[in-house]
Amino acid sequence: MSAMDSPPPEHSSERSPREKIEKVKRIEREFGIPIPGEILPAEQWVKTAIKHLPAAGPLAWDEVFGADYALKQGVVLDLGCGNGRSTLWHAVVQPQFCYLGVDVLPVVIRYATRRANQRGLGQIRFAVIGGKELLENYIADGSVAKICVYHPQPYYEERLIGKRLVTPEFLAMAHRALVPGGELILQTDHPAYWSYMESVVPTFFTLKTLPGPWPDAPRGRTRREILATKRGLPVFRGVATRRDAIDSAAAFRAAASMPVPTFNADRRLLELDREEGAFKP
């Protein structure tokens, strides 16, 4: 019998049919695309919810993450994390960091928490709070390695556009929160919002745009990105690196004189918003 014909060794990594079936059961899919991480046996689940934020900040990361924090290289914020797909993706692909995902909707945070719990991702925490409020009240200066903002809500009604997240003031707060050389990850499928970002972000960060999908997640890091891609819509992505030559006071002075995002959002994308909301997270 040739080497090619010989049976696999006793400790082969080949999975049996039963093992393959069990693995499929542990993989959760959304729109046919796996959600990062495998669902573990219940005895390996963890708790990732922050049920009550303190009355005042800043947050002490060693208290938030416990022993995990000392073993990691820093903290990543996922602002507007939705059902947690993006936070899970980062934690699985870049396990060297701790992660805090936040959203204003309790229902999506419940889904995100459950998924992280079931995957044993103890370096994640989730909380119900807005991204701006988190930066303003709970994040110490120079205390996070990366901030992710995937598909911030553009708000279509004129009375609501003041709630748009990415503003010069927000960028100054992100600049203040990041460590030297820290990164701000930006993604949207709204051309007008992206055009605005390209005009204001370079004051605080060096912005590098990506010409296509994320190389390490070509099918999408986020739920919204997957939906937009399936419909053939353009998705704009960028990595903004903190400009360390600007101090915090100068960043806020610059922000005070810059235009806020008053662009007219493309109402054709409202249909995609409704489609995204039509599916349970």
DSSP per-residue codes, 13-58? -PPPHHHHHHHHHH--EETTEEPSS-PPPGGG----B--S--SS--
Q: Give residue for tokens 């002490």.
A: 60
Cα torsion angle, 21, 124, 130, 190, sign: negative
**What number is the average pLDDT over the span 191-213?**
97
**What number is the average pLDDT over the span 260-268?**
83
Which percentage of the chain shows pLDDT scores above 70?
86
Helices of type H across the chain: 17-26, 61-65, 67-71, 85-93, 106-118, 131-138, 168-177, 191-200, 223-230, 248-256, 270-278
Provide the pLDDT for residue 75.
98
Provide the pLDDT for residue 56.
83
Amino acid at the residue 61 = W
Q: Which domains does the chain have, with CATH numbers?
A: 48-278 (3.40.50.150)
The least confident of 157-161, 172-176, 207-211 is 157-161
**What number is the average pLDDT over the span 98-111?**
96
Q: Which residues contact 78 (CB under 8 A, 6 or more apart)?
A: 86, 87, 90, 99, 100, 101, 102, 148, 150
Q: What is the pTM of this model?
A: 0.88
Task: Residue count of the chain, please give it.
Answer: 281
Angle, CA of 221, 276 and 186, to the nearest 5° = 40
Please tell me which residue, 240 or 57, carries the higher pLDDT value: 240
Cα gap 206→32, rounded to integer Å: 35
- The answer, yes or no, to whether residue 11 has pLDDT greater than 70, is no
Cα→Cα distances 193→149, 163, 276, Å: 13, 13, 19
Q: What share of the chain is helix, strand, coil (3-state, %, to 5)?
A: 40, 20, 40
Provide the pLDDT for residue 264.
85
**What number is the average pLDDT over the span 63-80?**
94
Provide the pLDDT for residue 213.
96
Pairs from 154-160 (Cβ < 8 Å, separation ≥ 24): 154/188, 154/190, 154/192, 154/193, 154/265, 154/269, 155/265, 156/265, 156/267, 156/270
**What number is the average pLDDT over the span 240-269?**
92
Return mean pLDDT, the chain. Answer: 89
Please tell me which residue, 166 or 4, carries the higher pLDDT value: 166
Residue 156: name the closest of 68, 267, 79 by CA: 267
